[in-house]
Chains A and B, each alone.
Chain A
Amino acid sequence: MPTVKSLEDLKKIREEALKKREIKSSPGSVQIVVGMGTPGIAAGARETLKEILNYIEEKNLTNITVRQTGNIGRDSWEPIVQVVVGENAPVTYGKVTPAAARQIMEQHVVGGKIVNDYVIPA
């Protein structure tokens, strides 16, 4: 069973992560929520989520929580992504294509600057 062997790999990942955490102080956490109701999925939200996860993996980012949620109710803006950095107010982005998601990850999640081009007007 390859899965059993893989769990051993996962244990090693965990041990390594714990060692690193001892020396690295943890910066403010980031919460990302992707709307995954029917309209969101139809508009490409799975690819948006995939890009966010790819980015985290690629850039080795920690302290990020990624969630998906049901219908947000602003169908014409799908795919919708909400970003909360630390104690700041949530920022809701619309029409977040994978390319837009990458830009939001780079500029907002990592750089701390809101990407105004994609912010949904209240």
Chain B
Amino acid sequence: MKEIALHLLDLAENSVSAGAKTVKITVCEDQNADLLTAVIEDDGRGMTPEMVKMVTDPFFTSRTTRKVGLGIPLFKAAAEACGGGLEIQSTPGVGTRVEARFQHSHIDRMPLGNLPATFLGLSVAHPEVHWIFHYTARANGAQECFEYDDQPVKQTLDGLPITHPEVLAWLRSMLEEGIGAAQKILNA
């Protein structure tokens, strides 16, 4: 996976599989502190410390009863290769928080990628989940934020499908324009 936004989609899919009702994704591109942070928090069923160890290092156990993918170990390795890291905090029955950090200017850092496409897909194709998306850009001492909470949107739709073409157009342009506007303050 060549985009941070694709890894976030992968992590979000884990949250949905864990039965999360609310998932919050926070991305901050901070050029002042030379840091890119991505956090995903959910209220899914959570993991025991042993399970956390297992999803971060798939070779930690020889147990084969539970399928463990390589999504998280690869994302962790990518973060560590860029002067950052990945941490998982999880409590069974409460939820999980995954935080990945990258040195923003690191030459090997994968691009953030198409964050609006990731957010649009999640919001439309998992309508049963309450999604909260935050994007912040910081550069030259300035800050721009974009925030999207899909609950007021679903309340407004009030039964009109989220896949209605005009709703899709509205959602897509709102996400693209909102995040694009915030990103304008970043240095090239």
Contact = CB atoms under 8 A, between A and B. Distances in A.
The binding surface of chain A is classed by DSSP as: helix
B143 interface: no
Given A6-B170, A7-B152, A14-B157, A67 B165 contact: no
A16 B165 CA distance: 12
Given A50-B117, A53-B168, A56-B168, A66 B163 contact: yes
A53 B172 contact: yes
B155 to A, nearest CB: 9
B10 interface: yes
Interface in A94-116: none
Interface in B1-17: 1, 6, 9-10, 13, 16-17
B47 to A, nearest CB: 16
Interface in A3-32: 3, 6-7, 9-11, 13-14, 16-18
A60 interface: yes
A36 interface: yes
B130 to A, nearest CB: 16
Contact of A13 (B126, B147, B167, B172): B167
Contact of A10 (B70, B148, B167): B167
Interface string A37-73: 1100110001101100100111111111111101100
A2 interface: yes
Nearest to B17: A70
A72 B71 CA distance: 16
Interface residues of B, number: 40
A53 B169 CA distance: 9
A11 to B, nearest CB: 6
B13 A68 contact: yes
Interface string B59-75: 00000000101110000
Given A9-B170, A68-B13, A71-B67, 8 more contacts: A3-B147, A6-B170, A10-B156, A17-B164, A41-B6, A46-B9, A46-B117, A66-B124
27 contacts: A3-B147, A6-B170, A10-B153, A10-B156, A11-B156, A13-B166, A13-B167, A17-B166, A36-B121, A38-B10, A38-B70, A41-B13, A42-B1, A46-B6, A50-B117, A50-B120, A53-B121, A53-B124, A57-B169, A61-B165, A62-B164, A62-B165, A65-B161, A66-B124, A66-B125, A68-B122, A70-B13
